[in-house]
Chains A and B, each alone.
Chain A
Amino acid sequence: MRADFDELGVEELSRHFGRRRAVSRITFNVAAGSIVGLLGPNGAGKSTMIGLLATLIRPTSGLIRYGRLVVDAGHAAGQHGAALRAAIGVLGHDLFLYPELSALENLTFFAGLHGVAHPHRAALEALEHAGLDARAHDPVGSFSRGMRQRVALERALIHRPRLVLLDEPFTGLDDASTGRLVSRLEGLREAGTAVLLATHDLDVADGLLDAAVFLKDGRLVDTVVQPSALRATYRQLMARPVS
């Protein structure tokens, strides 16, 4: 059983670590079939926001709506637990792969954990999708960063999630790998998946995003729909003092 939802809603969401406000009263939406960017300098709260949406971190206040399912400070994600996590895919800067296992073993393991009906077959298809079927039996530790990233993306997508959360997915990738990842994200948008992308790479994000949420010091600066000239917009918004 997995949760199904067409929209992710974040309302007045805050997370404090002691006295530090990692994110404070953030509100935005991500609709199915759209790519929303989470932009801001280091320490803006992007990774905390990804952790909150991935159910790894509990909110201090505010709420997250996954369609009809609500997660807030009083109702931690654990209550919806498995059903919610079955609908979310996460790709972080750390790739969440076991270097000692082969690409096929890694994907089969995670497909099994996500309850995919035929894990081995799904893993083979995912590797074919990533263009790595010829290296299926090689240990992931022997792969280049770009190849590992492709396997990690397939790991995040192997259970066909409704919501995909990506934290700095372009870091360390060459142009070809970046291009492949952008194409894959566009494919997800066409397939109706909601994608939230935290990145510093404004050049890559320019033209890819349907909306951009700008964060600074854990607070929302602005939300821009169909952003253009992203770098100029970013500079202008980041220069603005946050209330």
Chain B
Amino acid sequence: MFLRGVWLVVRKDLTVEVRSREIAYTTLFFAVSCVLIFAFALVREGRAPDEAAPAVLWVAIAFAGTLALGRTFERERQAETLRALLLAPVDRPAIYAGKLLGMMALLLAAEFVLVPLVALLFQAPLLGHPFWLTGILATGTLGFAAVGTLFAAMLVRARTRDVLLPVLLYPITVPVIIAGVRGTALLLEPELDVALLRFWLALLVTFDVVFVTLALWTFEPLMTD
């Protein structure tokens, strides 16, 4: 029943998004704008500062992710459908997991556009090690979305949710952003330091395990008033 609940919520979220394309377009537009602004500011005569590309990539992911997190729960708030989800006889953590996977799908789709764009504008060979890059992006995005989905759900009834979400989210996800930036930067080195790369990846996986577990454990009590 847990997995069925997860699947139903993910499928519903993706169907709603395919119909409206609201979050995908706004997230992508915001992320691309962010990258372009950094490119105009930092790239001089076709040369970008060393290691600017990973920082720009992860800043764009974090900002666009925050926007997407806010919008996806705003959608559930407008017709009070979150209450309907909580009233369903599925394990409430399944609702969290479904929302998390829907958010992951959205952010990974945005990253599919962002990575080649950053690589092009910042002359960074980000796609030189696709296996490692996929690992870092997937684990980093999961960590960011795991914390963000929990906070966005908690704040859905708060009047100041738009302000509170980034205030709460960014300090806690600092390790994800640091590990993501450092791990991605290693991929741009001429010699790949696999040991160090494994360290950053292990940090991201640890963060994911801790926060996904914590979120699944706390979602039920947090969502019961």
Contacts and interface: CB of A to CB of B under 8 A. Distances in A.
Contact of A90 (B87, B91, B225): B87
B68 to A, nearest CB: 16
Given A57-B225, A58-B224, A112-B4, A101 B12 contact: yes
Interface residues of A, number: 37
A224 to B, nearest CB: 29
B79 to A, nearest CB: 6
Nearest to A83: B89
Contacts of A90: 83-84, 87
Contacts of B90: 82, 113, 115
B210 interface: no
A2 B4 contact: no
Interface in A65-117: 76-78, 81-86, 88, 90, 92, 94-101, 105, 109-110, 112-115
A51 interface: yes
B83 A92 contact: yes
Q: For B12, B81, B85, B87, which residue has the most chain A Cβ atoms within 10 angstroms?
A: B87
Contacts of B16: 98, 100-101
Interface of A is mostly: loop
Interface of A: 2, 51, 54-58, 76-78, 81-86, 88, 90, 92, 94-101, 105, 109-110, 112-115, 139, 155, 159
27 contacts: A56-B224, A56-B225, A78-B220, A78-B224, A81-B91, A83-B89, A85-B87, A85-B88, A88-B87, A90-B83, A90-B84, A92-B83, A96-B80, A96-B83, A96-B87, A98-B12, A98-B16, A101-B16, A112-B4, A112-B8, A113-B5, A113-B8, A113-B85, A113-B88, A113-B89, A113-B90, A155-B84
Contacts, number: 88
Contact of A92 (B5, B8, B80, B89): B80
Contacts of B5: 113
Nearest to B7: A112
Contacts of A76: 221, 224
B154 interface: no
A58 B20 contact: no
Contacts of A92: 80, 83
B9 to A, nearest CB: 8
Given A82-B1, A86-B89, 11 more contacts: A2-B89, A55-B224, A56-B83, A57-B225, A58-B225, A82-B91, A85-B87, A90-B83, A90-B87, A96-B84, A159-B89
A90 B221 CA distance: 20
Interface in B86-124: 86-92
A109 B89 CA distance: 13
Interface string B1-31: 1001100100010011001100000000000
Interface residues of B, number: 26
A64 B64 CA distance: 44
Contacts of A51: 225
B87 A56 contact: yes
B81 to A, nearest CB: 5
A115 B88 CA distance: 9
Most buried by A among B84, B92, B221, B224: B84
Contact of B86 (A56, A86, A115, A155): A56
Given A85-B88, A85-B89, A95 B79 contact: yes
Given A56-B83, A96-B79, A98-B79, A110 B88 contact: yes
B12 A109 contact: yes
Q: Which 9 A-B pairs rank lowest in CB-CB distance, beginning with the nearest?
A: A96-B84, A94-B80, A86-B89, A113-B88, A82-B89, A100-B19, A85-B89, A57-B225, A100-B16
Nearest to B9: A113
Given A56-B86, A101-B12, A115 B1 contact: yes
Contacts of B225: 51, 56-58
A101 B76 CA distance: 13
Interface in B44-68: none
Contacts of A105: 15
Residue among B16, B88, B91, B220 with the most chain A CB within 10 A?
B88
